[in-house]
Amino acid sequence: MKKLMAANWKMYKTQDEAKNTIKDLINILGTELTVDRDVLICPPYTSLKVVAEEIKDINYMYLGGQNFYPAKEGAYTGEISPHMLLDVGCSYALVGHSERRHIFCEKDELLKEKVKYGLEVGLNIIFCIGEKIEQRRAGQVDQVLKSQLSVLKDINNMSGIEDRLVIAYEPVWAIGTGEVAGEKEIFEAHKIVRDELKNIYGEVGNSIRILYGGSVKPDNASDIIGIDNVDGVLVGGASLHADSFSKIVTA
């Protein structure tokens, strides 16, 4: 499976900063990648257009939104639609990032609508899941991940889902903390996710990419992507600099 190396720039970078970072990244990585990987950049909405311009001729790079509201248009002040993301050049969007779940209180019902609607209108979806530290300490990782994945049970009749849906396992306690999950923890969590995907989708569940996210850095990326069922990474802090993200992409 081709690995997906994804950058989530969160609420960082003005248009100029975004443009400079993406130019630097392309300068380092080149117009053709030496490794067989997909690279996804998820800038804030205000920088989608400038990044789209820079990557339009780079065949290994894709553009993604960090969120959207599941409707075509309407009176939803402050929101953005999947159609608008597609219009600006996005082919992917994140759904259910832990910051959306915990800061903006997004619940499973809404996340299910987002995954379903986003896929229906043509976006590829990266559905983010992960447990909090207290849930891990209470031995609930299996239960939490299965419960978060259960929103997919109603979205199992789409052909080609294996190319359109990606899962990102991001333990909440490893996001932005510098505390990366250990190899055993990542292995076990990704195995739970893989088994659940097979429960929901049958054999096709073997071909859905599962990314790891949470304090991925140039010095741990290679070990992480070598773990069974790790089909790429979703990177926050270390994706903000071309130098460090390029090292992760080629790790």
State which of positions 54-113 bind ligand 13P (CB under 6 A).
97
Q: Which residues are CB-neighbours of 189 under 8 A, at least 6 positions away?
A: 141, 145, 169, 171, 181
Q: Which residue is nearest to ligand 13P (CB)?
A: 236
Tell me whether residue 114 or residue 201 sits nearer to ligand 13P (CB atom). 114
Output the CA–CA distances (angstroms, integers) from residue 224 to 97, 190, 246, 251, in the order listed. Answer: 20, 11, 16, 10
Q: How far is the CB of 60 from ligand 13P (least distance, A)?
A: 20
- How many residues does this entry show for the chain? 251
Please select the residue that binds ligand 13P; options are 130, 214, 218, 232, rule is CB under 6 A.
214
Distance CA 206, CA 14 (A): 39
> What tokens were used for 197?
């995907």
Instruction: Give the interface size with ligand 13P as a residue count (CB under 6 A).
Output: 14
Please indicate whether residue 97 is annotated as part of the active site. Answer: yes
C-beta of 118 vs 237, nearer to ligand 13P = 237
236 binds ligand 13P, rule: CB under 6 A: yes
Find the binder of ligand 13P among 43, 70, 96, 237 (CB under 6 A): 237
Q: Rule CB under 6 A: is residue 216 a binding residue for ligand 13P?
A: yes
- For position 25 contacting ligand 13P by CB under 6 A, the verdict is no
For residue 176, state whether it binds ligand 13P (rule: CB under 6 A). Answer: yes
Decide: 41 and 22 in contact? Cβ < 8 Å: yes
Task: Please give the Cα distance from 162 to 164 (Å, whole number).
Answer: 6
Q: Which is nearer to ligand 13P, 67 or 81 (CB)?
A: 67
25, 175, 186, 189: which one binds ligand 13P (CB under 6 A): 175
Nearer to ligand 13P, 82 or 214 (CB): 214
Residues 6+ apart with CB under 8 A from 174: 180, 181, 213, 214, 215
Q: How far is the CB of 50 from ligand 13P (least distance, A)?
A: 21
Q: Which of 97, 106, 131, 196 is catalytic?
A: 97
Least Å distance, CB 176 to ligand 13P, is 4
Q: Across-strand partners of 129?
A: 169
CA distances, 85 to each of 12, 53, 95, 177 (Å): 18, 14, 13, 30
Is 43 a binding residue for ligand 13P by CB under 6 A? The answer is: no
Helices assigned H by DSSP within the chain: 15-29, 48-55, 82-87, 98-102, 108-120, 133-137, 141-149, 161-164, 183-201, 218-225, 242-249
User: CB 131 → ligand 13P: shortest distance, Å?
Assistant: 14
Please state the closest distance from residue 67 (CB atom) to ligand 13P, in A.
11
User: In a 3-state reduction of DSSP, which class is residue 167?
Assistant: strand
Give the separation between CA 19 and CA 49, rounded to whole angstroms: 10
Residues catalogued as catalytic: 97, 170
Q: Which residues here bind ligand 13P, judged by CB under 6 A? A: 8, 97, 170, 175-176, 213-216, 234-238
